[in-house]
Structure 1
Amino acid sequence: MTTASPSSPVFVSGAAAKAVFQWKDAVSALQAGYARPFDAASTPPRTVATGGGAALRTLPAIPAGGRYFGAKLMGMAMAGADPGCEYVIVLFDHATGRIAAFVDGNQVTGLRTAATSAAALDRLAPERPARLGVLGSGLEASMHTRAFAAVRSLTEVVVFSPTPQRRQDFAREISEELGVPVRAVDEPRAAVEGADIVLAAARSRGEKPILFGDWLQQGTTVVSIGSTVPNQREIDASVVERADLIVCDVLEEVLEETGDMLAAAKAGVAFRDKSFSMNALLAGDLDQRRGSAVLPMFKSVGSGVQDVIVAEVILTKALEAGQVTALPIAFETKRPKGIRKEKTDGHVQP
């Protein structure tokens, strides 16, 4: 169904985003987006401005073939009287350049990370029922478990996190929601051994590895999302060494700016020749290699293209469902010289 673009900007709240979101819609959109030819200029690196106890992070993207383009902005006040952080995704209409929507980015950030991992997992893991081992019991762990259940039938979920109550709460919540047996264990190795899929979604206390290569059986697919900057650790260098196919959502950023890969390089592990982009995976360039891989791994740091693709899915669904808030505002539209300018009231003047 094609939905008309709003004539003035709309707002999609976190509650509305959650109400209309479907994992399979987001996974399919991400797979289609990453399968298209990718221009590095359309997804420049994130920027972070800091000063005066505040930080502003910007993740811009123009996804190929998308109806919208835009950026996620994250503002954080660390030294104010009431410190906090808010996210907003601003979407522009590709045909007109006009601002189409502001989407609350807090929910989208968790949803897009898990949906991206599921989009990769769907191509990396064998198409059969799977036992899932989870390291972590927070938001990312629960989101990923839900997303994985949308692309694979889960026979059992086994979870470890350092806090007994949190892992028990995770087990109860996920079991009730998904109708899958979920078991909490008190050692990380017990969650991982024998698993067909392993999710590492919990950086350890003290930034020490929480997943080791000799815990993994052949045929396991690993998804690691917890080490996104140089000082963060999650998986041991032995996992990187054992993995025979490593897929990254942002290739150079994963290989050069995450603590796990920097530690692996320092340990002498060679991984460049077996590391590839998510675009290569979803465009089909790795079909032969993934078919013979015995321990594939997906490693993620997140990117603006994921935010924009998933925000477009949410905006489209929210418009169809009438779950948007119309904003009583209009922006002036600037036109190049020689082209007639259309004013925000709809009248055209030369």
Structure 2
Amino acid sequence: MTTSAFAPVFVSSEAARAVFVWEDAIRALQTAYARPIPPKSTPPRTVAVAGKTWLRTLPAVPVGSRYYGAKVMGMAMGSSTPGVEYVIVLFDQETSRIAAFIDGNLVTGFRTAATSAAALDRLAPARAARLAVLGSGLEAAMHTRAIAAVRELTEVFVFSPTPERRAAFAEAVTRDLGVPARGVASAQEAVEASDFVLAAARSRDEQPILFGDWLKPGATVVSIGSTIPEQREIDVSVVARSDIIVCDMLDEVLEETGDMLAAHKAGIAFNDKSFSLANLMTGALDEHLKDARTRMYKSVGGGLQDIVVAELILKKAIEAGLATALPMEFETKR
């Protein structure tokens, strides 16, 4: 079967990894969030659940972009081989047709870390810094590399419960980034001397892993591990200590994450110091930032991030000859 000019392509995670560049993704996200964002262009995520099966959808129509679409992920936890698969479907605004299917597993990690780095680049002072990493998984690794793309890191401290994992993480950071890195025996030890603090490993028993009195004056916190009401990552004291809180999905962060629900229950007022990522990128928060000592970016992830990074990867994969043409064409209803 031959493919037509309207046949979609597939971009694998392997191809995405081959063409992805942190700096390009960070700039693309900063540009996307600086543009006007119509309220209905990036709606909240939706989740369909029946028994042990769930399906989540994150749609977006980025302003000024050629492509729009949605990320879809699901898992049947009662199956014999449960696991989550992600697919990003991109539509072409020029033709109104389906243009691509992109494996979204790796893209999800890329877009989360790139968005955090895009926010930190605008939140934190423009100087060399020490980074504390709480966690040693894929998200922690990606965030460390993304942050290194926007700031010179003088040293990285990593804590995770398993000594072997934090040692391997530190070794990889030094090897890949040329930055001195070492594992430490406690989260507090990692945090107390650091200018940036990345919380990327919510605790298994849903108890906070980061406390406000550990933070040095002027620290910037990036928190990505609590995305639903049942999850906890940072203590309410971190919310209280933060002078400004920037959220990628403002309502979802404030109303649907366990950390902020706990802060609300504790009587901590945070609405007046919480702002959208778009506010940060347009410069609307510049005056607030002048007076802010402790700053926090808190993320749940959003469809705009998925589509912006997926479009960048699609274009690069096509240019590099790494997009696989699919032998299919969808029927168009007119």
Q: TM-score w.r.t. structure 1 length?
A: 0.93
Deviation at 1:174, TM superposition (A): 1.2
1:303-331, CA deviations, whole angstroms, 9 ceiling, x for partnerless residues? 11100000001001101111100001001
Matches of 1:274 and 1:302 in 2, distance apart? Answer: 20
Q: Deviations over 1:277-296 (max 9, x none)?
A: 00000011001111221111
- 1:29-68 equivalences under 5 Å are 29-51=28-50, 53-68=52-67
| Alignment-derived partner of residue 72 in structure 2 | 73
CA distance in 1 between counterparts of 2:25 and 2:231 reads 28
Match of 2:125 in 1: 126
**Cross-structure match for 1:17:** 16
Larger Rg: 1
CA distance in 2, matches of 1:38, 1:211: 33
Superposition map of 1:222-237 within 5 A: 222-237=221-236
User: Helix, strand or coil: the match of 2:240?
Assistant: helix
Question: Residue in 2 aligned with 1:207?
Answer: 206
Cα distance in 1, alignment partners of residues 184 and 44 from structure 2: 39
Q: 1:224-277: per-residue Cα shift (whole Å, max 9, x none)?
A: 001101111111111100100000000010001100001111111110100000
Identity %: 68
Please name the residue that 2:251 is paired with. Answer: 252
Tell me which residue corresponds to 2:290. 291
Q: What is the TM-score of this pair, normalised by structure 2? A: 0.97
How far, CA to CA, are the matches of 1:80 and 1:245 in structure 2? Answer: 44
Q: Deviations over 1:63-111 (max 9, x none)?
A: 1111100000102121112222210000000122100000000000001
1:53 Cα deviation after fit:
3.3
Distance 1:226 1:7 in 2: 40
Tell whether the 8 Å contact from 2:247 to 2:298 is kept in structure 1 after alignment: yes
Tell me how far 1:52 sits from its aligned partner: 5.2
Query: Would you say how many aligned residue pairs link Structure 1 and Structure 2?
Result: 331
SS at match of 2:171: helix
Say whether residues 1:170 and 2:173 are aligned partners.
Answer: no
In 1, Cα distance between equivalents of 2:286 and 2:333: 46
Structure 2 CA distance for aligned equivalents of residues 304 and 151 of structure 1: 23
Provide the secondary structure at the position in 2 that maps to 1:114. helix
Structure 2 counterpart of 1:338: none
The aligned counterpart of 2:272 is: 273
User: Secondary structure of the residue that 1:65 maps to in structure 2?
Assistant: coil
Superposed displacement of residue 55, structure 1: 1.5
1:19 and 1:227 mapped to 2: Cα distance?
30
Q: Could you tell me how far apart the structure 2 residues matched to 1:158 and 1:278 are?
A: 27
Partner residue, 1:305: 304
Counterpart in the other structure of 2:140: 141
Which amino acid is the alignment partner of residue 230 of structure 2?
N
Q: Equivalent residues in 2 for 1:329-348 (5 A)? A: 329-335=328-334
Displacement of 1:334 in angstroms is 2.2
* Aligned-partner residue type, residue 191 of structure 1: A
The root-mean-square deviation of aligned C-alpha atoms, in Å, is: 1.1
Whole-Å Cα distance in 1 between the matches of residues 165 and 68 of structure 2?
A: 38
Unmatched runs of 5 consecutive residues or more in structure 2: none
- Distance, in Å, in 2 between the alignment partners of 1:240 and 1:122 is 20
SS at match of 1:81: coil
Distance 1:239 1:124 in 2: 16
Q: What is the one-letter code of the residue matched to 2:81? A: D
Equivalences for residues 93-132 of structure 1 within 5 A: 93-132=92-131
Are 2:6 and 2:329, in contact at CA under 8 Å, matched by a contact in 1? no
Aligned to 1:88: 87
Of the structure 1 ranges 252-261 and 73-82, higher mean CA displacement relative to structure 2 is found in 73-82
Structure 1: state its 5+ residue gaps: 1-5, 336-350
Which residue is equivalent to 1:328?
Answer: 327
Query: Partners in 1 of 2:289 and 2:213 — Cα distance?
Result: 21
Counterpart CA distance in 2 for 1:75 and 1:259 is: 22
